[in-house]
Structure 1
């Protein structure tokens, strides 16, 4: 018998020895091939995330944090027969443990606060600018780490691995995130949701900012995460505006709040499963949207309210990883300012089988509560995925039939009756009413969506972009408003650029709605992130671009920092 076998010489070096019993040249080559495959697979072995973090501690932190009297009373070497056991032992000294620093403890920080890098004292000490929203340490927080900086400085990649472990819940078991995607982003390059840095938060005294992420997507990847977010406000507040800052690669962002004990069973950190119980919708958007509520209305939040953030990102690039982030600017006012509380509802039709026949499929659902009082609608927005072809809402008559058509997602601003209806599932409009629209909820509404599935398989209701949805988001009060209010501020007001016509089949006219004094550049990018058209040295507020040679499809354009989307027919 002739055979080779590969044996491990050292578990730490991962060297392999090919031993001969009897052989020929071809067998040697085959054996060498399989030995090399074994070596490669061994080198690619994925370690638990806590162990990856532990390795960084050993390389950069244990010169001070070890021995009988470790700095800050924190030993980062740990005990245990294996590296993993030592890593898990160190985690018990960090996760949800109060810091020795009195000021940090008074702020509610933990050495490691699962899910929250901003409230993790260890990360605050090593941050050194990686997370710009954290800022400089308070004088009472002590010095940055490591103390022998820059000799033992942590690289941005090392700090990111620690941050990712925290954001995914600082668990002691399991591979919580893809280290290889993070390494590619830092060592090779990638795209960012906010390449110019975080958007500014509300001014002091006007509110606060919430950040979700970053998390990293491989090329052509897609993910939807939830994250429990505990507020620690000095007092109860009224929320009169929520400005959602998300990138064009974001599919949607939803904001919920837990009620009762609903948050107690939800783990900290980014998670894939909603596990929703005892929860209310606060707001839902599909693109960057500044929701400024009508005057005399507000959401009412307790100082210790627990929110649930829901972010869905798609990496349209086929070659680069994507750093996903979302920011929520919350604008507040003192309690007692608003006359009416604003509510939000998610009206869902989960029964929407859609065969892949290429035919138009319609599903309709009534929403009402017999005997209920009237509600007063401020805004409506439909939601489907890529096979969607339309979304409409009617008042429901007492006999259950359709009454007045009040919302058409194929028209600008959702107002029915437009001359050239066009449904863009990625930019479904919100329709606002001021004064608010009274609806007898005993009669209710009827909403209807349509799809054409020309894909490879039938689809039904589901969370990914390859599934479909039929969801109506409604903002409303339970009492009427009798005061005049300002028009709600929307994306069109803040984007400061328009394109006509849209959809476009030839030449498009772009209008910048504010003065531009210097030359600027136009870039058109496809949904993979590749620049397909660039034109420089543009001047003035109005210019034309010939798109005749551009292939049909959705595109993102950028002009002097302003971002928009268009459809080429």
Structure 2
């Protein structure tokens, strides 16, 4: 009995040690066990020695250009922190785990090719380590969660989306990330499109799984601000203060911009990708992701630039007691002369019961012209008689709807809190929010000529 108890205690102690092992150490040990037989010696395979000391190996793979010409020409690094689809090492060894991240014949064989195999758990550990920034120190990867996913109860909610045809655009793949049972997370991920020149974006086609995703937003860093943020997934409290929203989704969708309009992304633009996701299952580990196709055209083609904003009221509380609470937001753009609205949508959390947007009077307050009715269905084709906070309506104006930006808009949201306690503004779905999405131009688009009107928001 004492012997069995000692074994159990040692097992618990060992598990605790394992849980604290730095993620890079776990990955390095995989390389030592499965890769070093070929990647060692005076002439290691691919000139990559994975048998050396930990620090030496780390330096030799992070942001280093692979010797394979095909991989180098597509912009790969041996390990590209935060981006598994640009990490040649992962693409070589992932062996079908990610169906659209394989190698082409010019990039050689799948590794290892000496009869050794990497388990799915080992490949996933490498993939998650890269996604979380491929850091040399710290515990970024939950190896126990990975083990539970591949050995136990799991749900795969990853998406499928064919990439744009060559020359038409590119695809961004966010994730996949793994969620423990009954958890909710929101992260940011810095992404470098590696444009060869400035581009215009005319369509953004997103796939997320509604069973696990609350929203996906593409932000664009202010020039130079991206240097203040590391590669890899970052928690919600590490978001940039200087960025512009490009597009937002609360459900999968294909945003095809009106003819003659486009977003403008400079050659050196960096994006910041924001995914809010959750796992409501009490037992299973969930894997989820986001894929978005970005369709582009040459810079200077569009006649009007599309802008996006996310105005809101961040200073309110909703008492419990199931009573109606009205919160308003009056938004103006005093520095603009013209505004032409393309789309409007709303955003609350679970206690939101209605959301309406009106033109605002020049003196303040609600005008009689209503532009958005929250009771409409997602496609804004009929009034369904209730507000669906998880899939709120999106109203598209065709032609674009002109308003006086100095008068602006008046938004009015209603809440009923039937929970056990008051709620305040916060980022989880147990908190509340009052935001609205707006896409607009500052001139009516035509079929030719670029809009070079300077833009400065209020």
Q: Same fold (TM over 0.5)?
A: yes
Instruction: Tell me the SS of whatever aligns to 2:262.
Output: strand
Instruction: Tell me the SS of whatever aligns to 2:317.
Output: coil
Contact 1:298 1:338 in 2 (8 A): yes
Q: Which residue of 1 aligns with 2:181?
A: 219
Q: Map Cα deviations across residues 214-271 of structure 1 (whole Å, 9 max, x no partner).
A: 0101122211111011012333322111111111121111011112111111110111
Pairwise CA RMSD of aligned residues?
A: 2.1
TM-score of the pair, normalised by structure 2: 0.91
Query: Once the 2 structures are TM-superposed, how far is the Cα of residue 156 of structure 1 from its aligned partner?
Result: 2.0
Counterpart selection for 2:37 from 43, 47, 63 = 63
Contact 1:132 1:198 in 2 (8 A): no
Q: Which residue of 2 aligns with 1:239?
A: 201
Q: Does residue 145 of structure 1 match 2:111?
A: yes
Query: Once the 2 structures are TM-superposed, how far is the Cα of residue 98 of structure 1 from its aligned partner?
Result: 2.6
Q: Map Cα deviations across residues 486-525 of structure 1 (whole Å, 9 max, x no partner).
A: xxxxxxxxxxxxxxxxxxxxxxxxxxxxxxxxxxxxxxxx
Q: How many angstroms apart in 1 are the aligned matches of 2:293 and 2:364?
A: 41
Q: Which residue of 1 aligns with 2:9?
A: 37
Q: Does residue 114 of structure 1 match 2:81?
A: yes
Greater shift in the superposed pair: 377-386 or 203-212: 203-212
Q: Does residue 286 of structure 1 match 2:253?
A: no
Counterpart selection for 1:409 from 374, 384, 405 = 374
Counterpart selection for 2:292 from 324, 328, 345 = 328
Q: How many angstroms apart in 2 are the aligned matches of 1:391 and 1:38?
A: 57
Instruction: Tell me the SS of whatever aligns to 1:348.
Output: coil
Q: How many angstroms apart in 2 are the aligned matches of 1:287 and 1:41?
A: 44
Q: Map Cα deviations across residues 420-443 of structure 1 (whole Å, 9 max, x no partner).
A: 521111001111111111111111
Q: 1:72-91 counterparts in 2 under 5 A?
A: 72-79=46-53, 86=54, 88-91=55-58
Query: Once the 2 structures are TM-superposed, how far is the Cα of residue 105 of structure 1 from its aligned partner?
Result: 3.1
Query: Once the 2 structures are TM-superposed, how far is the Cα of residue 450 of structure 1 from its aligned partner?
Result: 1.6
Q: Which residue of 1 aligns with 2:216?
A: 253
Unpaired segments ≥5 residues, structure 2: 448-458
Instruction: Tell me the SS of whatever aligns to 1:93.
Output: helix
Q: How many angstroms apart in 2 are the aligned matches of 1:243 and 1:456?
A: 39
Query: Once the 2 structures are TM-superposed, how far is the Cα of residue 316 of structure 1 from its aligned partner?
Result: 2.3
Q: Map Cα deviations across residues 306-327 of structure 1 (whole Å, 9 max, x no partner).
A: 1111111111222211111100
Instruction: Tell me the SS of whatever aligns to 1:412.
Output: coil
Query: Once the 2 structures are TM-superposed, how far is the Cα of residue 38 of structure 1 from its aligned partner?
Result: 4.7
Counterpart selection for 1:200 from 162, 165, 171 = 162
Q: How many angstroms apart in 1 are the aligned matches of 2:336 and 2:302?
A: 24
Contact 1:231 1:305 in 2 (8 A): yes
Contact 2:206 2:254 in 1 (8 A): yes
Contact 2:380 2:394 in 1 (8 A): no
Select the structure of larger CA radius of gyration. 1
Q: Does residue 127 of structure 1 match 2:101?
A: no
Check 1:185–1:371 CA distance in 2 against 1; reply closer, same or farther (3 A cut): closer
Q: How many angstroms apart in 1 are the aligned matches of 2:406 and 2:396?
A: 22
Query: Once the 2 structures are TM-superposed, how far is the Cα of residue 354 of structure 1 from its aligned partner?
Result: 1.6
Contact 1:407 1:415 in 2 (8 A): no
* Aligned residue pairs, count: 442
Q: How many angstroms apart in 1 are the aligned matches of 2:384 and 2:112?
A: 62
Q: Map Cα deviations across residues 534-561 of structure 1 (whole Å, 9 max, x no partner).
A: xxxxxxxxxxxxxxxxxxxxxxxxxxxx
Greater shift in the superposed pair: 393-402 or 102-111: 102-111
Q: Map Cα deviations across residues 55-96 of structure 1 (whole Å, 9 max, x no partner).
A: 2112211111223443233222333xxxxxx3x442122112
Asked which structure has the greater RCO (Cα within 8 Å, sep 6+), the reply is 2
Contact 2:340 2:402 in 1 (8 A): yes
Query: Once the 2 structures are TM-superposed, how far is the Cα of residue 147 of structure 1 from its aligned partner?
Result: 2.3
Q: Which residue of 2 aligns with 1:388?
A: 352
Check 1:338–1:178 CA distance in 2 against 1; reply closer, same or farther (3 A cut): same
Contact 1:137 1:144 in 2 (8 A): no
Instruction: Tell me the SS of whatever aligns to 1:386.
Output: coil
Q: How many angstroms apart in 2 are the aligned matches of 1:51 and 1:460?
A: 41
Instruction: Tell me the SS of whatever aligns to 1:52.
Output: helix
Unpaired segments ≥5 residues, structure 1: 1-27, 80-85, 484-569
Query: Once the 2 structures are TM-superposed, how far is the Cα of residue 359 of structure 1 from its aligned partner?
Result: 1.7
Q: Which residue of 1 aligns with 2:455?
A: none
Contact 1:243 1:328 in 2 (8 A): yes
Contact 1:231 1:306 in 2 (8 A): yes
Check 1:284–1:65 CA distance in 2 against 1; reply closer, same or farther (3 A cut): same
Q: Which residue of 2 aligns with 1:8?
A: none
Q: How many angstroms apart in 1 are the aligned matches of 2:52 and 2:347?
A: 51
Check 1:419–1:328 CA distance in 2 against 1; reply closer, same or farther (3 A cut): closer
